[in-house]
Amino acid sequence: MLRTLSRFILFHFLQIFLVSLLFFVLIIELGDLFSNLNRYLTLEVPFSRIMEVQLLFLPKSLQLSLPIALLFSVSFSLGIIYSNNELIAVFAAGIPHIRFVLPLIILGGLLSVGSFYFEEGVVIQTLEQKNELSAVLLRRSASLNSANVTRLSDAGRVVYQAAYYNHSEKSLSEVSVLVRDDRGNPVQRIISSLARWDDSQGAWVFENAWIYNVNIHGELEGDSIFHTQYSSELLTKPPEDFQRLRDSIEDMTISEAREWISVLESSGLPPRKELTQYYERYAFALTPLIVMVISSAIGGNFKKNILLLSLLVSLGVSVVYYVIQMVGGLLAETGLIPPWVGAWIGVFLFLLIGITLLARAKT
């Protein structure tokens, strides 16, 4: 009997889920298309090329649509079952609510795992290809300037950090350089407001530079030395290496993100933003499971206006969830709370709410 009920609820759910997923994917795809439609028409971009861009955006659309489609589908399907008095028959048979919706919760867990690997293996690559193709079709020149630059050279012995790299002038603004020995211990720090690349020397020339000698404990050793201009044979990393790279955690795979965070940590910089985004990759993967738990708890409460109420609840819960995640991320990036707390606060809160609602659901 339980196996029959599991097939029954999954059949009802999947019918609605496939339609709602296509609906939300279509909305996101159209939103992306219309945002660039005017330039497509102005530049007379062929229809086939436009469709190629939208096809490359499809995996990202699926990822964005999945949580709200799940939330709506579960709420709507349970509401239909309840309005047909079929849910009453299930409870009268002595089957608790949590057991009835258990197949949906298990499916949510499987979709969480699947969405994580789907993003790793498909979404990141196709979104990068979509952005590159879109830039070509819309004739947007990619800027080679970059902000908040961190680069290593000489096998990690020299760490550059600059507020801004200007490619046309080949200059670094608000630059700090950390020089380390073979064991990775800091030995010298150079701080300058501006550094320019000198082609004749093949090196960076630092203007109004302060030189600090540092011992193995990271403490200043001796007096600081001021130079109106300073260059060194160690400071020869080519300016092309400071061009804008894919340095956003959202555009990296997990392994690439982990390596990038290690680079920032080894340079002595606090990677709060990067760590927050790194933990958010895992946290957001649990979104399908969370929405399954919440919608399973509230779905059976709708007996009238099921379609409207399911849609409103889906949109409302989604907005609140993403706002809490966004606020948590901002607090973590500013250092007010640890990065892992900022990334997981929305997940823990909504999972707790979902479990509480599920425990108190009518049965």
**Rounded CA gap, 20 and 161, in Å?**
47
Q: What percent of the chain has pLDDT over 70?
A: 89
CB 195 within 8 A of CB 206: yes
- Residue 130: pLDDT over 80: yes
Angle between helix 102-118 and 47-83 (nearest 10)? 160
Name the β-bridge partners of 203: 198
The one-character DSSP state at 99 is: H
- Residue 246: pLDDT over 60: no
Mind listing the pLDDT tens digit for each residue in 188-243? 889 999 999 998 888 999 999 999 887 766 667 767 889 999 988 888 888 887 87
**Rounded CA gap, 57 and 30, in Å?**
11
Higher pLDDT, 46 or 3: 46
Locate 60 and state its tokens: 């990202």
| pLDDT given for residue 146 in this prediction | 81
- Residue 18: pLDDT over 90: yes
Residue 297's Cα: distance from chain center in Å? 28
What are the start-end ranges of the H helices in the chain? Answer: 2-42, 47-83, 86-92, 97-100, 102-118, 124-137, 254-266, 272-285, 287-298, 306-333, 339-359
**Rounded CA gap, 71 and 292, in Å?**
6
**Rounded CA gap, 223 and 237, in Å?**
27
Q: What percent of the chain has pLDDT over 90?
A: 29
Site of tokens 């211990």: 185
**Rounded CA gap, 53 and 46, in Å?**
11
**Rounded CA gap, 347 and 349, in Å?**
6
Locate 273 and state its tokens: 């933003």
pLDDT band for position 269 (cuts 50, 70, 90): low
| pLDDT given for residue 207 in this prediction | 93
Higher pLDDT, 68 or 315: 68
| pLDDT given for residue 301 in this prediction | 63
| pLDDT given for residue 217 in this prediction | 65
What domains are there in the chain, each with its CATH number?
2-139+273-359 (no CATH), 146-243 (2.60.450)
| pLDDT given for residue 268 in this prediction | 60
**Rounded CA gap, 93 and 87, in Å?**
10
What does pTM read for this prediction?
0.73
Mind listing the pLDDT tens digit for each residue in 70-124? 988 888 888 788 777 777 777 777 788 788 888 999 999 999 999 999 999 899 9
Q: Is 146 left (phi over 0), alpha (psi -120 to 50) or beta?
A: beta
**Rounded CA gap, 121 and 285, in Å?**
14
**Rounded CA gap, 93 and 91, in Å?**
5
